[in-house]
Amino acid sequence: MKHGVESLHATRLEDTRWSELNMQIVNCTKCPRLVEWRLKAALNPPRRHKGEKYWAKPLPGFGDRKAKLIIVGLAPAAHGGNRTGRMFTGDSSGNTLMRALYELGIASKPTSTSRDDGLEIRGAYITAVVRCAPPQNRPTAEERRNCLPYLMAELSLLKELRAAVALGKIAYDGLYAALRLLGYGVPKPKPKFRHGQTYTVAKQGRNLLVAASYHPSRQNTQTGRLTHEMLVDVLRGACLYAELCT
């Protein structure tokens, strides 16, 4: 009975920490340029989104809080996550990622369209190094530094992590910085970003695989720089390491 009470208390404490972190993220106004840009996008939507109510706030991550895999992107899209209120939701990048995760049995459906679309993520957590949509998808160094503590907090709360996939160079660099600051034994110098790059870090006897992929943006998928098969291969390798898929 005592063990059950302690377990319940621990679960409630963890839920409280997640709630506090997510509230802190959503209410963040550290970066004036990003605050202005995310609101401007909401007030000037493209024709296809006219009349829709935009989220227009910073985004926390989403997924399984018992995740063994974390997937880290760059930032919400101005008319994707910034509109829908969920990472990798409402744009082509989200659908590309979800199609790959669905094939691996991690996502419950191959599309990501809205916060209430019924999508469930099993064994993985999806987040980004920057929480607001940046102009031209190019956050400044200061904006990246301002957001880094949020990624560090998520990494710390995800106690069962075994693998991480960084989507794009900015995500790759941000993830490396977060792991270094959290005390993981990261390789030095930092391994150069390239699609399929992997390395392993450790902290207190806990190993974590880090894998890199090109970002599933339309710019990469339409030019053939990143194919569905290439994305699935990287994600499958991380899943196998984390013992999420076979």
Query: Residue 13 has what pLDDT?
Result: 84
* Residue 5 pLDDT > 60: no
Rounded average pLDDT over 67-81: 98
Confidence of residue 4 (pLDDT cuts 50, 70, 90): low
What residue has token string 């706030």? Answer: 57
Listed residue (176, 178, 170) closest to 140, CA to CA: 170
Rounded average pLDDT over 16-33: 97
What confidence tens digit (pLDDT) does each residue in 143-174 have?
Answer: 999 999 999 999 999 999 999 999 999 999 99
Cβ-Cβ contacts under 8 Å for 204 (sequence gap 6 or more): none
Mean pLDDT over all residues of the chain? 95
Query: Residue 14 has what pLDDT?
Result: 87
CATH number for the 2-242 domain, one of 3.40.120.10, 3.40.50.170, 3.40.470.10, 3.30.160.40?
3.40.470.10
Rounded Cα gap, residues 230 and 48, in angstroms: 30
Query: Residue 148 has what pLDDT?
Result: 98
Within 10 angstroms of residue 15's Cβ, the number of other Cβ atoms is 11
* Residue 2 pLDDT > 80: no
What are the residue ranges of helices labelled H in the chain?
Answer: 2-26, 32-43, 81-84, 92-103, 141-157, 169-181, 218-221, 228-242
Rounded average pLDDT over 170-184: 98
Task: Tell me what percent of the chain is helix, strand and coil, each rounded to the nearest 5.
Answer: 45, 15, 45
Q: Which of 13-17, 56-60, 107-111 has the lowest mean pLDDT?
A: 13-17
| Domain residue spans of the chain | 2-242
